[in-house]
Chains A and B, each alone.
Chain A
Amino acid sequence: MKRVVITGRGVVSALGSDLSSLMEGLSGGKSAVKAMPDWEGYKGLRSLLGAPAELQNEKEIPRKARRSMGRISLFGVEAAEQAIRDGKVDETLLTSNRFGCVMGSTMGGAGDFLEAFSAILRNYDISELSSMSFFKCLSHTVTMNVAQYLGIKGYVMAASAACASSLQALGLGYELIRSGRQDALLCGGAEELHPIVTGTFDILYATSTHFNDTPSLSPRPFDKKRDGLVCGEGAGVLLLEEYDHAIHRDAPIYGEVIGYSTCGSGAHVSQSSREGMRSCMKDALKDAQLNPENVDYVSAHATATLQGDQAEAAAIADVFGDQVPVSSLKGYIGHTLGASGAIELAASLEMIAQSIIYPTLNLDNIDPQCNQIAHVREPLKRDITVVVKNCFAFGGINAVLIIRKLNN
């Protein structure tokens, strides 16, 4: 089996348009959650909170490439370009058939879906549809646009497993390189903030509704007063590369992927499964040939839903007991859904580099039902070698990826 390292990072989040802005925000304990008063026009939507990101210089993308990109794809392209620059990828490598792209999102372009269907449903007439409606909506719109724009000719695939999408994309990239099928891939995910996305959670009573007037106090992962998730947006892309290939071209190496598992819970479409989560973490550890005590930090999925956080805390306790530090980043940037795994993994890489674990924001009073694990509540300075990243998605789909500081 070949070794897989991370040689490029790109992040767009509500805390800023690159990884360093995200890290500055985490370091400053800053919440990017804002009130979304324009959403009041949606009847039945109770959660009026979001963590919006900003697009940067999207007009620099030539019109013919940009015309098929909705907001979600523009975020994806921006993060992918950052990862390429960061990884010092030249044109020859980028366009070789040994260089691939696997990106994920929950449902494609939500805003463009709404626009397309609104155009049709006004008169049940398709003649007002733009030629680009389809390309902006698609479940693989991010992958398609990133791969087309960058001229990628290797393995291209879209991962679509809601909140586990980008971690599944990274997991697939890891397996493709490990098995020798590809030398390098851009892997990650993107998501756009839209009331119909928040609405899909709101209808299930999974969103935060009690903090509309105090946005920065929500979401509150593992906290006694948590009342649901807050959606965010942005993109995370990591460049995965075969170790010798990276060494040969003198690429920067930020960490190594050493374990991955994805599995179904086989239990319920929306209720989190402690057993499924536990099984996924154990399988990933087995893949990495590690014991739980070898892990220095668990970057939790923890979105601040009542049942999800409780199940995850129990599952983490089942595997790691109460000694391994655990935190969730959702309080800072909201839940970036299909992008969350990649964004939070990029943050974890920086935490490894800086020897610091950032705490769970808004965790003021730990819910007794989530109290069986080692919550990080203040910045924790320590050497970090191994990080476990969790993503648990609607549909009972679990994904866990394990990285470590490069060990020569």
Chain B
Amino acid sequence: MDEEQLKKLVNEVFEESFETNTEHLKADAMIFEDIGLDSLDIVDLVVALQKKFKVQIRDDERIRNIRTLGDIYQFVINLKDEGHIPEA
């Protein structure tokens, strides 16, 4: 799975779980301010990412530093590089 495919799957999480319009899914979009998520949504974002990428990230400290959609892309790319995301 290449980086573009990973980003596409992250975007799917936002569309499926938070009904986010595709045009809002830009790397520099702030998750709270621009996309409109709140603290409860972050719980569901973690659950949805876990399901989508078949990983366990609930206790991953890096989640606390996520601010933008681009941060999530990079987080998922790092998970892939670290071998946490199984090949489809």
Residues of chain A whose beta carbon lies under 8 Å from any beta carbon of chain B? 63-64, 67, 127-132
Given contact pairs A128-B50, A130-B44, A131-B47, enumerate 4 new A-B contacts (beta carbons under 8 Å).
A127-B50, A128-B51, A129-B47, A131-B43
Closest chain A CB from B34 CB (angstroms): 15
A127 and B40 within 8 A (CB): no
Closest chain A residue to B46, Cβ basis? A127
A-B contact pairs, 21 of them (CB 8 A): A63-B18, A63-B19, A64-B36, A64-B38, A127-B47, A127-B50, A127-B56, A127-B58, A128-B47, A128-B50, A128-B51, A129-B47, A130-B43, A130-B44, A130-B47, A131-B40, A131-B41, A131-B43, A131-B44, A131-B47, A132-B44
Chain B residues with CB under 8 Å of A64's CB are 36, 38
Chain A residues with CB under 8 Å of B58's CB are 127
Give Cα A130 to B18, complex, Å: 13
Chain B residues with CB under 8 Å of A128's CB are 47, 50-51
Closest chain A residue to B56, Cβ basis? A127
Q: SS class of chain A's interface: helix, strand, loop or mixed?
A: loop
Closest chain A CB from B48 CB (angstroms): 9
B40 and A132 within 8 A (CB): yes
Task: Give the most central of A127, A131, A132: most B CB within 10 Å.
Answer: A131
Chain A residues with CB under 8 Å of B51's CB are 128
Closest chain A CB from B28 CB (angstroms): 22
Total CB contacts across the A-B interface at under 8 A? 23
Give Cα A131 to B56, complex, Å: 16
Closest chain B CB from A130 CB (angstroms): 5
Residues of chain B whose beta carbon lies under 8 Å from any beta carbon of chain A? 18-19, 36, 38, 40-41, 43-44, 47, 50-51, 56, 58
Give Cα A130 to B42, complex, Å: 10
Give Cα A64 to B50, complex, Å: 22
Closest chain B CB from A176 CB (angstroms): 31
Give Cα A127 to B49, complex, Å: 12
Closest chain B CB from A321 CB (angstroms): 57
Give Cα A225 to B75, complex, Å: 65
Give Cα A132 to B18, complex, Å: 13
Chain B residues with CB under 8 Å of A63's CB are 18-19
Closest chain B CB from A119 CB (angstroms): 9
Chain A residues with CB under 8 Å of B38's CB are 64
Chain B residues with CB under 8 Å of A127's CB are 47, 50, 56, 58
Chain B residues with CB under 8 Å of A67's CB are 40
A-B pairs, top 3 by smallest CB distance, nearest first, are A131-B43, A131-B40, A127-B58
Closest chain A residue to B40, Cβ basis? A131
Closest chain A CB from B72 CB (angstroms): 17
Chain B residues with CB under 8 Å of A132's CB are 40, 44
Closest chain B CB from A65 CB (angstroms): 12
Give Cα A129 to B47, complex, Å: 7
Give Cα A130 to B51, complex, Å: 12
Closest chain A CB from B14 CB (angstroms): 12
Give Cα A129 to B18, complex, Å: 16
Chain A residues with CB under 8 Å of B47's CB are 127-131
Give Cα A67 to B37, complex, Å: 12
Give Cα A128 to B50, complex, Å: 8
Chain A residues with CB under 8 Å of B40's CB are 67, 131-132
Closest chain B CB from A63 CB (angstroms): 5
Closest chain B CB from A149 CB (angstroms): 15
Closest chain B CB from A64 CB (angstroms): 7
Chain A residues with CB under 8 Å of B50's CB are 127-128
Closest chain B residue to A119, Cβ basis? B47
Give Cα A127 to B36, complex, Å: 23
Closest chain B CB from A31 CB (angstroms): 37
